[in-house]
A = this chain, B = another copy of it.
Amino acid sequence: MSHITLPEGLPGILAPMAFRPETAKPLNDLAQALLRGPSTLTAAERETIASYVSYLNDCYFCSSSHSAVAQRLWREKPGIVEAVKRDAQSAPVSDKLKTLLAIAAKVQQGGKQVSSEDIQKAKGQGATDIEIHDSILIAAAFCMYNRYVDGLATWTPKDDSIYEAIGERLEKAGYVMDPVPA
């Protein structure tokens, strides 16, 4: 049971977002800018960073939702998101993404954990300043979303079909909020 009275039947972050639309708007805008806005990182790569950090934070709802959409976006690479969660450095992703995932894992522990060496490795694999910036902010943002979801003890369904449906919706619509019914 969630720690406060939230709208019923909505899993994870969807319940507190419905409860508090004033903060839901910038939370969604941030996710949309980071995960779907113009970028030289693909949406699949960015969602993989999001799912990886959520996994490291042990947030079942966020990890399952973003794993589902990331895996859909990777299309021809079945199992790639699970491989990243098992061991990012041996997963079948680009060397550049491996360095960005390593930075994201440091951010998950704390901002000061990111070293100049981590950054140099990413630059050595061709990561641009904006790609490094966005990877750090995606990781930081999921340290927020994960704490929001679990700090309120929101409803966490364990039924995979729910996350498949969420993944499908996030692939199609992104994080643009539904217009408020008139």
Grouping DSSP codes into helix (H, G, I), strand (E, B) and loop, the A interface class, with mixed when no group exceeds half, is helix
Chain copies in complex: 2
- Residues of B near A22 (CB, < 8 A) are 33, 37-38
Name the distance in Å between A94's Cβ and chain B's nearest Cβ. Answer: 20
CA distance A141 to B26 in the complex (A): 11
Q: CB of A119 within 8 A of chain B?
A: yes
Find A144's partner among B3, B116, B143, B153 (CB 8 Å cutoff). Answer: B143
Chain B residues within an 8 Å CB radius of A176: none
CB distance from A38 to the nearest CB of B (A): 8
Is the interface on chain A under 10, 10 to 19, 20 to 34, or 35 or more residues? 35 or more
Contacts of A112 in B (CB 8 A): 58, 150-151
Cβ contact of A140, chosen from B19, B103, B137, B151, cutoff 8 A: B151
B19 lies within 8 A of A23 (CB): no
Beta-carbon nearest neighbor of A131 in chain B:
B4
A68 within 8 A of B: no
A148 contacts B by Cβ under 8 Å:
yes
Q: Which of A16, A23, A25, A58 has the most CB of B within 10 A?
A: A23
> Can you report 18 residue pairs joining A to B where beta carbons are below 8 Å apart?
A4-B119, A4-B129, A5-B129, A25-B29, A29-B29, A57-B110, A58-B110, A58-B112, A107-B147, A107-B151, A110-B147, A110-B150, A111-B150, A111-B151, A114-B151, A114-B153, A133-B152, A136-B147
